[in-house]
Structure 1
């Protein structure tokens, strides 16, 4: 595939910085450096989120679809082209990447069509899940990987052909995927979670050959019989090397919800689990881990009339074995999107219905928060 550079549209980078733009995602990659994305572009802050520079590359009329931010220098974007009158993409789906903090971008074709979500485990190793469509309750994904920072991509697997008769799916064995962020692939193993599947246990699959084949993995995780019946979703909340942590929220029809953390240190061969943290009935939860030990849990329950209760924030310093309630945060319609670095620093996007999302920062591990302009 042919590579070519896109020089950065310098814009505000050489002038005054922006206050916090209307972001949909945020990633804090050091105590002071943060990336953010919106439907309109990509932004970077070097003062902990106080001010932002617009680093959006030339998209050539394509739509910015997804973003992944690894550190202060490395970021990847996906861009999808418009469709013609026959429903064909005018250009292939592309990946744009930078290795110098957004000063320069390179672009490469990823796949002939489809929306893509990307994820990197280091500066060279990444995965892309390209969605081709949906049929009969299944979503068709193609799995691609890169080992050269996104310069070249190779097809590894796809959804099964029978669900959607697309030539790109022939020979595929990829289990049902609920979305691009549901798959984490490390050098020695990978974990795929989802919400679909006629299984009497949580939806979890493991690969040890780079995504070419999968085995059902929930049987390896020490779920209780009740958790197997009531687990709403299992998510990968942190992974590196041979280690990974999962979060699992159980939501019985009646009674308290419960959250447990499961972990492996041998590439998914054996798993251990924490004690259950009891939560309000009908809870929704979002878990963020910044490293193996430090994590944060956002919880929003509801009353008997299903009215949302105030969001509480919990913190762990031992990998989820124990949680400390930091108190009620906000009375909002939804859980915030958050990103943490180390054990002290974090950014959170607060949802306010149809209003622009507010950006908040903590420098003491979540105990206190400051709204950014």
Structure 2
């Protein structure tokens, strides 16, 4: 850092906290403001980060481009801190983010949603750079904070960052989906990665009345914060807060490429048509897609523009995560089209399921995340609308 940048650090933190306040629509709570001032964000970033440039990830080194690096550190934006699980690809275009520093506005929103009080004990899933653990340790004390990270290199970075900034929470290298029973029970469990399903180990390791906060992910769309309260009976139930997007927990990743793994040359699909505009379900508002994802459960989609098929301008593919069934909906380029050609293959008629889910959404007043909830028991997950009594299983 140049001397000018060193002098600008307090101002950078102040401006960043002001940006967070604008995002929240209120001032950052005093206890979290003090924590943010005590743990400047740039001190937790590695010397090399990756920034978006025309939808590609471009490396930015503090030594070679300190001004850009410093600006990224104090922007209210996520910063990619690792690509491809630490294995840089031969082709830069193949880079994908595998660890990051979350946008500060989301960090502070989640900290406030935890509703912490002095003496509470917290387990963090995903140490990342250590920044979030530092904020928690400043608020609660080192002894009350445990953070677990699956990647040993990232865990070492978090541990070093925390130590160099005067913090010493427990940093564990391990599988966060298992929690960390050695320090259980906890008053709060907070994940900095998204989950498709809440590991029951987290519930088992949380005190009755405790809270679990985790970004949610389903195959249809990623987003939403799930806040569960653990009951005396070993179940946990709660609602969602929009909107957030986090990297998926590594142990819940699925490597499935639609065109390679699902559609085979010997498939003979059934042809039909639909009046449901494919953009109404797969290019609609986040709130719409979030609700649909809770009904469609194991379905995901991909757009294929100009697919080199005669008479098809755009094709929407829908498939099961297991790849056993798929559907394709074709648009021929006609403006204000009223019907679309549908192709379906497999034991399930997926577009029929999409139509049913969309009709459910209409019939129930177009619900968004605020009306949806989740209950987790030892037997599994049940999503619900408005009330836990109005539930359906999430396999």
TM over 0.5: no
TM-score between the two structures when normalised by the length of structure 2: 0.25
Structure 1 or 2, whichever has the larger Rg, is 2
Greater per-residue strand proportion: 1
